[in-house]
Structure 1
Amino acid sequence: MLLIECDDALAILKKYVDSPEKHFSSFIDEFDYQKFCHFHGDKSPEYERVTMKNMSISNAVIRSRSLEAKSLNGIVSSNSSSRSIPSNFRMKIGEDLYTLTPSTSRVSHRDKKSEFDGLIDWAIGIKDEIKVTTNQSEFLSNFASPICLKDIIDLGHKVVAILIDLSEIETKFLGGQVVLSKVDGSQLSSGEINKIFNQLKSPVLVDGDVLKVKGKALSGKVSYSKNLIIIRNKVLDNILVTENGTNNYTLGKYINKEKPFSAVFDSPNYSYYSKSCFEDKHLLNNVHSILNIFDDSYNFNDVFSEKEKPHVIDLTRFPVNSLFRKVEDQYCAPHNIVICDDMNDEWADHIAIDSNSNIPSISFIHSKFTNKDTYGASAFHDVVAQALKNIGRTQAEKQLFKNKYYNEWHKNYESTNISRVTGAQNWQDLEVALDAVNRNPNSIKKIVLATPFLSKAKLTVELNKLALGQKCKPHYVQLIWLINTFISSCKDFGVQAHILCKP
């Protein structure tokens, strides 16, 4: 390991040893994120690889992904990049290859071996280049921009929702690598542990000093430092994690040390993710395109439940006042095959296939009913999460459909006489329809959300307020993030996004 002090900067060169910078945290800061990202941006670099983290507050999306090409310049969708944070990228300038990790101010340069003096000259040269860097990289300008948390708070904004990602702890727990117990040594039942993990898979809503999950209040609060969000909660502070039998820490300490969470503010421009804040300058420009995916042409009046259970044994259709029946009678009507895949390992509540049109299509429909109109994130988050969890099913091979047919779809729905498949008498009929969709390069795949608890008119009013820079209720900020997450994910999979709602 070699430490080089260059004026007001410290260069750390190491190999096969742990990084020592954590010991210097009281004396040194990372380089400015913006300057570091645009390193050599004025020299027309070609970006060969980028690893991106998603800014979404939904845990149902792909959290991180990597793209690689001879040159990514111009071929990465701005829709994806504006909602993403570059965590690592490789760039080529002439014959020189650099790999940058902005969050740790790390620069790697693929080059031949160097003498000691040459190494020092290289470190000083890198430092000088970062110091004079201006934001001139067009490619990186499409990504989310960093901003200091204190600056957001000083502008009068506040956090309205947090999504905590405990998947790493949950995976270790399920794999037997960690044990969860109470701080006083008493044991937690598997039911209590599962309840904690399941609760925190929904956004934690923040209203001043009040925290809520799925409408239930939590004891605790959120506080802020210059760059970090701190979550205080008695339940989390009372759960002890024992790793490999020796390393003990509370769940609360883990969350505040590792920061495995994202947060959104009362302005949709800002997001907090993994110890950093970012600004999406493009979101509010897309409000009108976001509203275009809402379809209010369907009649959802007199819907009293999702499926109107319990069902009588001789039932052959879902009850007329159920959301399922409305979807089947209205949205599914033009399709020649309709599959009810509700329950068990469901891909969607309904799958509707139109194989007779010149441009065939297949729609995966996810329905959600609430007893009253709601514009909070909870109900919409549930249906979006269900849709995104199964978004890969839109690309499923025919054999998987065949397996589903013989395992489930050829039977009636639960203990009723409702046929799960209408329009196809057997697997061969369904296979012909799927072939018509799969063999046509212009066929359309859709994910459809049936959400009669949303009114397009009310959404339009509130989202237009946001577009004009006006204040609106916090839950609309969460909604616009969830809607945009849904649209972005669908675009990434080449799938159309549709939301059925009330006028």
Structure 2
Amino acid sequence: MIEHGEIDLIPQEADGQPLRGWAMIRNLHAPKAAYFYDVAERITDKAIDELFRDLRRQAIEPTQNLFRHDREALDGTRWSAICFAHHRNPGFLDPPPRVKERVYGFLMLVEHAGKVAVLRSGLDLTTAFKSKHLNRIDAERVEAALAHSDAIFEKMRLRNLSPSKHVLRSKMLESEDLRNVVGPAGSSRFAPQGYTLRRDDGHYTTTPSTGRISQRSDTAGHEELVPWCVGMIEELENQNAPVAPFLRTFARSVSLATYGDRLQPTFFSVNTALLAEELLDEHGPLRLVKEGEGGPVALSHNETAAVLDTLGPSLSVRTVRKELRLEPTEGRRRTLGKLKINKGRISLRSLDLAAAESLTVEHKAAALGQDPKAQSLRSYINRESRFIVLFQDLALAYIDGALYRDDGFAAGGDDLLRYLITERALADAVSEKGGLTPVQTTFDPTSVFGVVVNQIARQDDVLLCDDLSDEWADFIGLNTTATPPTVSFYHAKHKGLSLGATPLHEAVSQALKNLGNMALPESEMGRKVASWRGVYTKDRVTSAIRRVIRGDIATVPEAIGAVRSTPDMMRRAYVVTSSLSKQRVSDALADIAAGNPPSPHFVQLYWLLMTFVSACSEVGAFGRVICQE
């Protein structure tokens, strides 16, 4: 049949009559791929009839049904299916012209044990039917159904959980067995979005967040598809199936909707670490503005840091008459804000913090006071989800607008401890760089800079102070005599002891954005060598400390070239801080493993440091944090 210059193929019997009814359903050959849902409200004959009628009403110029079956019985299971042709606008033409493209749509529902499998092509469930009758299935149940302990993962699509702009956002991995090529350092900050695995009964692909499961096989008819859907539903019902240990090395993104009333918030905290990246970083996109006597005034770096300090304390979450109230963790009980948990996000209904109300967030690209999208700091924190919520389930954390599950963290987070190296001299540090005088030739031994030079980097035969220039690190060290030779970037910071992320944020951010420079690109060396020819100057005080701490400026280019040309050159990125104690971190992790809730600030710290380690692994570098004992 030809319509409007199109060829429309309708399957026909030998006598030229179109196939219909049971005859046509036997021509169905579809892949074993379905979306699985929990039934929210009982599905009736009337509901299926309304669904199929709505599908035809919403379609453009639908043909007669090639087949339609409403809640047919097969071995105790109900199945429904519909198929018809319809027009749609070509996706590559805008606005759509009179010409339409003809497609054949197919939709099939299999009902079993309180769940529904949906197989489709060219048609989809209506919004009304889905919202009334179906709930998205828990992603963890999809994982348990497919990722058995003996499963071999062959392909995986990953998204980085860190909101930092300096890290790899996503990646695709593929191997005969990913367990042999993916280490814990490279996986810990990535959440699987979808994966392909093989088991004894075949190859499967799934996207847990959408409930989609497919099996690699030949296409099948309805009499084979229905039992396949039933089999998958029964696997989804198995609550005790152990998940593959390989999958548990990842922190997984999970849906708020799947947890529902089971979510019991315990603590709330503003994500000051991420706000610091946006507001304090030299290249950060935002600024804080206050209203001065003569008009809007931008806050200085120190004033902004002070504001973030006031936002730092965590608040407890208490349920009062179904309200989630934010209250101080110590002192007089009073309501400082309220949370609301929706299906898609957690929002701040209120936040009574003076600093958050009296200040405005603006984009630096706009003239001061002229940003049309300016908003109060409180509104910005809410709209951009710049906060963390913790729950009674210690494996869960809501961070920057998404809910994550990290079983490794709840089990004690031993992975983090492996990347902490202790240096006793950091306990004596009282400043970052120490005081400077014109006659000073070395950094104060009680400064973090002094500890780096005298203790941590003592094996480097070339040591360059790169601070306060177009810096890649505070110090760059070369060990040209080691086998293999090493390049080390040292990022040093001094703060009081803390189990929060804020004291470390600046150093980690600097380390992340300079990972590419650890290759010592030849095109940059001329400029960098020139910057190392002088002495160290800070706050207009020119000292007698040579920027080439060890080595000879005349031979530095040659040494860098020799190390760069070594095929097995080793790169190490060190964050050196006096603000962290490995023992205190170990004690905090032990408390978590014992079932005690962590503070939101410690969760920030854990995620920040594991992000740093993971990002280093992505570029073939070794990331370590050197801290107090």
Q: Under a length normalisation based on structure 1, what TM-score does the superposition of the two structures give?
A: 0.71
Q: 1:501 corresponds to which letter in structure 2?
A: C
Aligned pairs for 1:311-350 within 5 A: 311-312=436-437, 315-350=440-475
How far apart, in 2, do the equivalents of 1:447 and 1:43 lie? 35
CA distance 1:152–1:282, shift in 2 (3 Å): farther
The aligned counterpart of 1:101 is 207
The aligned counterpart of 1:479 is 605
Matched, 1:382 2:506: yes
How far apart, in 1, do the equivalents of 2:400 and 2:208 lie? 13
Matched, 1:224 2:341: yes
The aligned counterpart of 1:245 is none
Q: 1:207 corresponds to which letter in structure 2?
A: L
How far apart, in 1, do the equivalents of 2:342 and 2:605 lie? 27
CA distance 1:89–1:403, shift in 2 (3 Å): farther
The aligned counterpart of 2:118 is 11
CA distance 1:263–1:341, shift in 2 (3 Å): farther
Q: Which moved more, 1:385-394 or 1:469-478?
A: 469-478
The aligned counterpart of 1:355 is 480
Matched, 1:446 2:563: no
Q: Is the 8 A contact 2:394 2:595 kept in 1?
A: no
Q: Which moved more, 1:19-28 or 1:421-430?
A: 19-28
Q: Is the 8 A contact 2:412 2:589 kept in 1?
A: no
Shift of 1:122: 4.5
The aligned counterpart of 1:207 is 315
Aligned pairs for 1:63-212 within 5 A: 63-81=169-187, 83-91=189-197, 99-106=205-212, 118=221, 122=225, 125-126=228-229, 128-133=231-236, 135=241, 138=244, 139-144=246-251, 146=254, 149=259, 153-154=263-264, 157-160=266-269, 162=271, 206-208=314-316, 209=326
CA distance 1:44–1:302, shift in 2 (3 Å): closer
1:425 to 546, 552, 557: 552
Q: Is the 8 A contact 1:352 1:362 kept in 2?
A: yes
Give per-residue Cα distances to partners, 1:451-498, cap 9 Å, x unaligned: 112334433433333333345555334333333333343344443333
**How many correspondences in the alignment?**
472
How far apart, in 2, do the equivalents of 1:501 and 1:266 lie? 30
Give per-residue Cα distances to partners, 1:373-406, cap 9 Å, x unaligned: 3332211233223323323333443444444224
Partner of 1:53, secondary structure, is: strand
Give per-residue Cα distances to partners, 1:29-83, cap 9 Å, x unaligned: 1122123345655697664432223345766543432223355354322454454
The aligned counterpart of 1:215 is none
How far apart, in 2, do the equivalents of 1:460 and 1:94 lie? 41
Shift of 1:257: 8.3
Shift of 1:365: 0.8
Shift of 1:151: 6.8
Aligned pairs for 1:41-52 within 5 A: 41=147, 47-52=153-158
CA distance 1:480–1:74, shift in 2 (3 Å): same
Shift of 1:87: 1.1
Shift of 1:368: 1.0
How far apart, in 1, do the equivalents of 2:431 and 2:204 lie? 57
1:281 to 403, 407, 411: 407
How far apart, in 2, do the equivalents of 1:469 and 1:275 lie? 25
How far apart, in 2, do the equivalents of 1:159 and 1:74 lie? 39
CA distance 1:126–1:211, shift in 2 (3 Å): farther
CA distance 1:143–1:324, shift in 2 (3 Å): closer
The aligned counterpart of 1:62 is 168
Matched, 1:300 2:420: no
CA distance 1:341–1:131, shift in 2 (3 Å): farther
Partner of 2:178, secondary structure, is: coil
Q: 1:64 corresponds to which letter in structure 2?
A: S
Partner of 1:479, secondary structure, is: helix
The aligned counterpart of 1:413 is 536
Shift of 1:119: 7.5
CA distance 1:411–1:96, shift in 2 (3 Å): farther
Q: Under a length normalisation based on structure 2, what TM-score does the superposition of the two structures give?
A: 0.59
Pair member with larger Rg:
2
The aligned counterpart of 1:495 is 621
Q: Which moved more, 1:102-111 or 1:78-87?
A: 102-111
Partner of 1:356, secondary structure, is: coil
Q: 2:120 corresponds to which letter in structure 1?
A: L
Structure 2 residues without counterparts, runs of 5 or longer: 1-104, 290-294, 317-325, 330-334, 364-372
Q: Is the 8 A contact 1:44 1:137 kept in 2?
A: no
Structure with larger RCO (C-alpha < 8 A, sep 6+):
1
Partner of 1:498, secondary structure, is: strand
Q: Is the 8 A contact 2:422 2:628 kept in 1?
A: yes
Q: 1:486 corresponds to which letter in structure 2?
A: F
Partner of 1:342, secondary structure, is: coil
Shift of 1:118: 4.2
How far apart, in 2, do the equivalents of 1:453 and 1:43 lie? 40
How far apart, in 1, do the equivalents of 2:340 and 2:476 lie? 45
The aligned counterpart of 1:35 is 141
Give per-residue Cα distances to partners, 1:389-446, cap 9 Å, x unaligned: 323333443444444224x2334434625432233434643432552465162x5422
How far apart, in 2, do the equivalents of 1:52 and 1:397 lie? 29
The aligned counterpart of 1:462 is 588
Q: Which moved more, 1:409-418 or 1:266-275?
A: 266-275
**Cα RMSD, aligned residues only:** 5.3
Q: Percent identity?
A: 24
Give per-residue Cα distances to partners, 1:161-192, cap 9 Å, x unaligned: 648989xx99xxx9x9xxx9x9xxxxx97958
Q: Is the 8 A contact 1:306 1:322 kept in 2?
A: yes
